[in-house]
Amino acid sequence: MGNVLELADVRKSFRPGFIPKKREVLTGVSFTVAAGEIFGYLGPNGAGKTTTIKCVLGLVFPDAGTVSLFGRSPLNPRSKDRLGFLPENPYFYDHLSGREFLDFYAQLSRVDKTERAGRIDRLLRLVGLERAAEQALRKYSRGMLQRIGLAQALINEPEFVILDEPLGGLDPLGRKEIRDIILGLRAAGRTVLFTSHILQDIEMICDRVAIIVGGRILSQGRLSDLVSEKILFTEITLAGVDDASLADFGDRLQTREGRTLLKVFDETRVQPLLDLVRERGGRIHALVPRTQTLEDIFVDTVARR
């Protein structure tokens, strides 16, 4: 499948206020988003995630490098016909109701008048705001604004959706619902790029990720390629064996109410430990093998820099 989005060596700097010195925000960002995938754009606060997205949307102009959206300039309205966008901490027109707001954006997206009402109803249902449809947006909570923002991003049935921190401000149930919507978009053949600093969300639903730190992409690829299946260590909670006998197996982390939490780094030592516990008539309460997570990679990438 072709690429929906291509960024090549994008650089951007800003001049804060009257200070003549430029502050470099993006120092050569390159990545591609393929059609039909969920692409996670990951980075700590201030890493340049939102600036990258602004370059893609044509909200800021890169100093150097190229951005290609559906093979065209991001400023071309024909590219934007196929695009949906939800900003971080969205703010919309206070005086409009949810339905009026979606109608306004539907008109801007040139949605046919005959289709508009039906599509708005469908989207309000999708994001769970049917009951708040006639309510003014100034009365919406942050989570509700996030939901109506997602609805406006989908108003033109876009092929490519960019979501900037879409799960921020939502409760656990709301996050699951939005995650399901994103997965539903992929199932419908849409492409999604979303930024987050919540690693679990990205790990749960993304096909590929890029990690940006200090305006530079430090790591990118398929999640399965980035995250190793190798077991880093095994955490075992056991009882009935004295601490001295456990010293050879790994690091004892804590002992509480007769239970010892042991961290075993050598995978080959797990079976002998289990044998020892059985011999002594002890009990295994938990055995958790820890593989590498996206968080480990992220922390490692940020620390290496």
Contact status: 247 vs another protein (CB under 8 A): no
Closer residue to another protein, CB minimum distance, 54 or 99:
54
Instruction: Tokens for 299, please give them.
Output: 């922390």
**Sheet-wide strand order for 259-264:** 251-256, 259-264, 231-239, 283-291
CB closer to another protein, 159 vs 203: 159
* Smallest separation, CB 175 to another protein (Å): 21
136 contacts another protein (rule: CB under 8 A) = no
Minimum CB distance to another protein, residue 130 (Å)? 22
- What is the smallest separation between the CB atom of 263 and another protein, expressed in angstroms? 46
How many CB atoms within 10 Å of residue 270? 18
Q: How many residues bind another protein (CB under 8 A)?
A: 33
Q: How far is the CB of 53 from another protein (least distance, A)?
A: 9
- CA separation for the pair 227, 296 (Å, rounded): 9
Beta bridge partners of 191: 160
Question: Binding to another protein (CB under 8 A): which residues in 37-96?
Answer: 54, 57-61, 75, 77-78, 80-81, 83-87, 90-93, 95
Q: What is residue 268's three-state secondary structure?
A: helix
Nearer Cβ to another protein (160/249): 160
Interface pattern 103-122 for another protein (x via CB under 8 A): -xx-xxxx------------
Residue 61 or 265: the one with the smaller Cβ distance to another protein is 61
- Residue of 149, 166, 169, 250 interacting with another protein (CB under 8 A): 149
**From the DSSP assignment, how many helices (H) and strands (E) are in the chain?**
11, 13
By the rule CB under 8 A, 285 interacts with another protein: no
| Number of CB atoms found within 10 A of residue 2's CB | 10
For the CB of residue 160, give the shortest distance to another protein in the complex, in Å.
Answer: 11
Q: Measuring CA to CA, how many Å separate 31 from each of 40, 87, 217?
A: 11, 20, 8
Q: Which is nearer to another protein, 58 or 240 (CB)?
A: 58
Q: Where are the beta strands (DSSP E) in the chain?
A: 3-14, 23-34, 38-42, 64-69, 83-86, 160-164, 191-196, 208-213, 216-222, 231-239, 251-256, 259-264, 283-291
Give the whole-angstrom CA distance, residue 178 versus residue 164. 13
**CB 12 to another protein: min, Å:** 9
Interface with another protein (CB under 8 A): 14, 54, 57-61, 75, 77-78, 80-81, 83-87, 90-93, 95, 104-105, 107-110, 149, 152-153, 156, 162
